[in-house]
């Protein structure tokens, strides 16, 4: 049996507080705004009496204790987020051995500011992850310390937008990273969706998800990489006798396939990557000895020597002559589709990709290799990769749009005490402050290292501080989807 207060409705207006004490001496304070005179019914009804009472246009309040009332208000506050809110994130840092050691790298500095913790100067700082992938979960900076992934799943339509949700499901379709590269990453490629599903099913400990992983890297410093196959496979064999010796391929074989250069490259690359480890070591050592004795070396020769210093006698050293060697300048970007070989070599970049961590490796790595799968999965497309310089959207915004639906990247900058109206995306956004201080929408204070998740259709105004300008990276769903 419970005590209730009912208020009869009429045409007059009344507002105020009511303090009610029940038989157990528990107090509740009720604030009412209501039209009409009030009468209070404080009778204790039995269950049967309550069922038999005639219905009327009334308001009922169950009497509860102060403690219960406060607890429920706190729970409501902690479990709801108003529409259009922006949430700040604490991001994940990866300390892979190829990262830059010390406190001067972008990952070390941004990560320290973002996580509000000192830099571990003795550790390599390789990657800073911003997104929902389980290998690098982000936490919302609020009382609950909720994972971004669970926040998005519980607010999917509002957070992602209808079109994004229909297209990609109840998750953020992209992952934003910062990379600080001190030595070469593995010779690798990322599987398409069909292969990713199979690999994830067969080797879930090695391939963490069932998604594909197209990606794009935007240079922050000069950034070196191997990307895609060179145009002339035969020329690679002619230039490097050790490569020719390792494969055992005669020039007559290459001539017989001259009408199909993709077939040439597949023949050469597969022979190299599947060669016996002892024979690889012998030919790499012979190559290094010859190059050190030569006075004149080109950039590929220099790269082969550098790769061998990092990964002695590794088959990946030979890839210096088979893959395109590129040097991006700050503000230039390159993208990699699924099933295309590449390896980052040196420098710092901002990277955005589909939400996945699937990597098939075959060289320059202490990690597990799937060489046969890599050789079989590649498209063997030849030629240099396309380099993007960005499209100017307005005086504050440059956009990099690769041919993938899941993502694109914007760089938004403001001069001192200036504002920028950011483009409105129908999907979610993740924003990283590269440098400077300012605010978003006058109420979200941001500075270097701040990371913000924005719901779909969020209108955002970026304002710099009076201390100087501000620059941010913004990852979002590719506008072509909408």
- Catalytic site residues? 361
Q: Distance between CA 332 and CA 223 in Å, rounded?
A: 9
Q: Distance between CA 181 and CA 116 in Å, rounded?
A: 23
- The DSSP secondary-structure symbol of 131 reads S
| Strand partners for 27 | 21
Angle, CA 249 vertex, CA 244 and CA 251 arms, to 5°? 90
Residue 91 burial (CB count, 10 A) = 25
Q: Distance between CA 413 and CA 108 in Å, rounded?
A: 22
Q: Which two tokens stand for residue 133?
A: 């992938």
Alpha helices in 5-99 (DSSP H): 47-52, 66-79
Residue 88 burial (CB count, 10 A) = 18
User: How many CA atoms lie within 13 Å of 93's alpha carbon, on the beta-carbon side?
Assistant: 27
Q: Distance between CA 124 and CA 94 in Å, rounded?
A: 9
Contact assessment for residue 102 and residue 121, using Cβ atoms and an 8 Å cutoff: yes
In 155-231, DSSP assigns E strands to 174-181, 187-189, 215-219, 223-229
């Amino acid at each position: 049996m419970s005590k209730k207060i009912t208020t009869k409705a009429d045409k007059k207006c009344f507002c105020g507080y009511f303090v009610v004490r029940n038989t157990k001496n528990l107090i509740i304070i009720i604030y009412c705004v209501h039209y009409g005179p009030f009468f209070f019914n404080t009778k204790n009804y039995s269950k049967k009496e309550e069922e038999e009472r005639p219905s009327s246009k009334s308001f009922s309040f169950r009497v509860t204790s102060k403690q219960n009332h406060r607890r429920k208000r706190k729970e409501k506050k902690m479990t709801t987020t108003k529409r259009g809110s922006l949430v700040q994130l604490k991001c994940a840092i990866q300390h892979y051995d190829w990262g830059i050691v010390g406190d001067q790298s972008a990952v070390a500095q941004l990560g320290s500011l973002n996580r509000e913790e000192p830099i571990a100067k003795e550790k390599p700082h390789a990657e800073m992850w911003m997104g929902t992938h389980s290998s690098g979960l982000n936490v919302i900076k609020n009382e609950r310390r909720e994972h971004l992934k669970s926040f998005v799943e519980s607010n999917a339509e509002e957070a992602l937008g209808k079109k994004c949700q229909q297209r990609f499901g109840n998750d953020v379709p992209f992952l934003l990273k910062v990379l600080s590269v001190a030595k070469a990453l593995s010779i690798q490629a990322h599987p398409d969706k069909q292969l990713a599903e199979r690999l994830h099913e067969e080797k879930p400990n090695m391939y963490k998800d069932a998604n594909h992983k197209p990606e794009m890297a935007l240079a922050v410093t000069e950034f070196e990489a191997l990307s895609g196959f060179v145009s002339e496979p035969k020329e690679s064999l002619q230039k490097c006798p050790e490569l020719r010796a390792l494969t055992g391929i005669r020039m007559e074989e290459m001539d017989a396939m001259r009408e199909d250069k993709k077939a040439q490259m597949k023949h050469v690359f597969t022979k190299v990557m599947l060669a016996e480890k002892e024979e690889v070591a012998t030919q790499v050592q012979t190559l290094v000895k010859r190059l050190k004795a030569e006075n004149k070396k080109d950039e590929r020769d220099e790269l082969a020597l550098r790769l061998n210093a990092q990964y002695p006698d590794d088959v990946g050293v030979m890839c210096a002559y088979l893959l395109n060697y590129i040097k991006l300048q700050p503000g230039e970007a390159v993208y990699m589709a699924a099933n295309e070989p590449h390896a980052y070599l040196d420098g710092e970049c901002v990277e955005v990709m589909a939400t996945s961590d699937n990597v098939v490796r075959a060289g320059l790595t202490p990690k597990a290799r799937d060489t046969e799968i890599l050789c079989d999965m590649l498209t063997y497309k030849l030629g240099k990769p396309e380099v993007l310089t960005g499209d100017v959207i307005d005086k504050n915004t440059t956009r990099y749009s690769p041919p993938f639906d899941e993502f694109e990247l914007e760089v938004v900058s403001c001069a001192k005490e200036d504002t920028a109206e950011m483009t409105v995306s129908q999907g979610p956004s993740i924003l990283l402050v590269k440098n400077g201080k300012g605010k978003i929408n006058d109420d979200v204070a941001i500075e270097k290292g701040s990371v913000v998740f924005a719901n779909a259709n969020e209108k955002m105004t970026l304002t710099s501080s009076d201390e100087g300008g501000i620059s941010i990276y913004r990852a979002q769903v590719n506008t072509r989807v909408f």
